[in-house]
Amino acid sequence: LRATRIAQALLERGLSAERPLVILSGNGIEHALLTLAALHVGVPVAPLSPSWSLLDPDALKVRHAATLLTPGLVYADDGSAFDRAIGLALPPGIEVVLRDGALTGRSHTPFDALERAAPGPAVARAHDAVGADTIAKFLFTSGSTQLPKAVINTHRMLCSNQQMVAQCFPFLADEPPVLVDWMPWHHTAGGNNNFGIVLTHGGTLYIDEGKPTAAGIGETLRNLREISPTVYFNVPKGFEEIASAMELDDALRESLFRRVKAFMYAGAGLSAHVWEQLERLAERTIGERIAMLTGLGMTETSPSSMFALKPGIRAGHIGLPCPGVEAKLVPVDGKLEVRFRGPNVMPGYWREPALTGEAFDDEGCYRTGDAVRFVDPADPQQGLAFDGRIAEDFKLATGTFVSVGPLRAKLIAAGAPYVQDVVVAGLDRDDVGVLFFPRLDDCRRLAALPADAPAADVLAHAAVHDLFQALVDRGWREGTGSASRVARALLLAEPPSIDRGEITDKGSINQRAVLTHRAALVEQLYAGAPGVLRPAT
């Protein structure tokens, strides 16, 4: 009833694809109600990353989104927090709805005013008119290399995604699913997949206000001690933090494993070290392992495109195409790019015809930019493995291509548990260099330093330096040429910053953003002789 009242209010304001609903704030009850109301009557909803409003002093991406979408209504949960961005990015004529607070020099509509609307025949008519090709959402790409693009998500895409998930994971129908989930709804994994699973199967979603960061993981751990999910989604960094905490926290371990049927990760490769740790902890707690599910998805495919379902999958495996999805493998720069066609694939980018044309090939397949390889070339049914982003690869000064994805994965695996992530440098240089993001707690233990020892002191310790030097030396010995041999490395005391876009909302590393924001450190890396340099910030 609450959603239908809000739906009536949206219709009274004449919202449509030309005047959609934009949501500035993160996951919350009001956010969910607005989304359900909009979907019910065919009004597109566009959730934006809160960081665009809260962290960018100029609100450039919010302004871009407002110009591109021409919204008819904008929602924010807290007027004081979003006041600056609204003032900078939204023309005065756009109605703003707030749950709390007020705006400087601008009127607003209280959220509860939307719920005072009385549902009339217009709601039923609008609902009956919603079809497969009705636009459900505009979801924005990250915009790490250019202004974000608005991906058109239709109702066909959302429904197809849920049907694919239901066929691939039939256990979801065994009981109403329970999710404890932080994944943002402005992102396709959280907003389409996870939120959609709960709607499709009549489940319960507990909004986790934690994050897979050192500062935010505590809230996630507290929630998981109280609530036992039936399926649990996170990014690799989140699983890493949870696995580490479970080693000493019996209550957390027993709660998480009590009902869970499967784990699923996305956003980056899960290290073998963490994978094996989770398996060991599950066997210790319930006497068996929990299935770890993964695949390949993206905003443009709503998000499901491939799932790895066979026994024995490991980090990097992405499996086979989902039911109803066609995958085409195309040679590009010495790799195989995977392209998709199916009911889950977007019709295009909103009001960007040139970019839409570039996104599809002559057979109507979406160009993902993701490279893949066969797990076993002699047995294609074993599925595919992720082989990096083609756009991340680069050439050395010698003209030799460096395949970034496999090199990163190899270094992370070889450096476990001391390596959190790796960024590969060397564009137009003579050799490959890397920036290591170390796991500081593990490095402190290696150096036998106290828990409060500063990061710079930890990474300058001889034992830590020698370990990373040995890792680089080993890679040099095992490399087959200049593109697979790391000649120099730098240990970074400052972790990747989500504020600067160095890690995405999914928790994966943004290679290009790190290299851009730390260009001075890259110069430092190449200024001296090869080897492992002392830590830098």
Please give, one letter per residue, the 3-state secondary structure of 276-291.
HHHHHHHHHHHCCCCE
pLDDT value at 40 more than 60: yes
pLDDT (0 to 100) of residue 535? 58
Helices (H), 191-249: 195-201, 217-226, 236-246
What's this model's pTM, rounded to 2 decimal places? 0.87
Q: Tokens at residue 92, please?
A: 């005065």
Which single residue is written with the structure tokens 């021409």? 70
The SS3 call for residue 461 is coil
Radius of gyration of the chain (CA): 24
**Mean pLDDT across 34-61:** 96
Tell me if 196 sits within 8 A of 188, measured CB to CB: no
- The more confidently predicted of residues 402 and 86 is 86
pLDDT value at 214 more than 80: no
pLDDT value at 461 more than 70: yes
pLDDT value at 537 more than 70: no
pLDDT band at 512 (very low <50, low <70, confident <90, very high): confident
Q: Tokens at residue 70, please?
A: 């021409």
What does each C-alpha distance from 490 to 237, 393, 531 come to in angstroms?
A: 21, 20, 9
pLDDT value at 49 more than 70: yes
Q: Tokens at residue 13, please?
A: 């304001």
Residues 215-260 pLDDT 10s: 889 999 999 999 999 999 998 888 989 999 999 999 999 999 999 9
User: What amino acid is encoded at 460 in this protein?
Assistant: A
pLDDT (0 to 100) of residue 273? 82
Least confident piece of the model among 153-167, 255-269, 333-347: 255-269
Pairs from 102-111 (Cβ < 8 Å, separation ≥ 24): 103/79, 108/79, 111/30, 111/75
Strands 135-140 and 204-207 come out as unpaired
Residues 409-455 pLDDT 10s: 889 989 989 998 999 999 989 999 999 999 998 999 999 999 899 99
pLDDT value at 269 more than 80: no
Backbone phi and psi for residue 79, each to the nearest 5 degrees, phi listed first: -60, -40
Residue 389 is inside which H or E element, if any?
A: strand 384-389
Beta carbons within 10 angstroms of residue 485's beta carbon = 16
The SS3 call for residue 330 is strand
pLDDT (0 to 100) of residue 320? 96
Outline where DSSP puts E strands in 103-219.
109-110, 135-140, 150-154, 178-181, 204-207
pLDDT (0 to 100) of residue 505? 54
Kindly report whether the peptide bond that precedes residue 347 is cis, defined as omega within 30 degrees of 0: no
Residues 513-525 pLDDT 10s: 899 899 999 999 9
pLDDT (0 to 100) of residue 394? 86
pLDDT (0 to 100) of residue 312? 81
Residue 395 is inside which H or E element, if any?
A: strand 394-395
Q: 109-123, 207-221, 464-478 — which one is most confidently predicted on average? A: 109-123
Burial class (CB in 10 A: 0-12, 13-18, 19+), 4: buried
Residues 315-362 pLDDT 10s: 789 999 999 999 999 999 888 999 999 999 999 999 999 999 999 999
pLDDT band at 310 (very low <50, low <70, confident <90, very high): confident
pLDDT value at 389 more than 90: no
Q: How many angstroms separate the first and last alpha carbons of the chain?
A: 53
pLDDT value at 147 more than 70: yes
* Cα–Cα distance for residue pair 185/224, rounded to 1 Å: 20
Tell me if 44 sits within 8 A of 137, measured CB to CB: yes
- The more confidently predicted of residues 361 and 501 is 361
pLDDT value at 395 more than 90: no
* Cα–Cα distance for residue pair 493/456, rounded to 1 Å: 6
* Cα–Cα distance for residue pair 410/419, rounded to 1 Å: 11
pLDDT (0 to 100) of residue 152? 98
pLDDT value at 506 more than 70: no
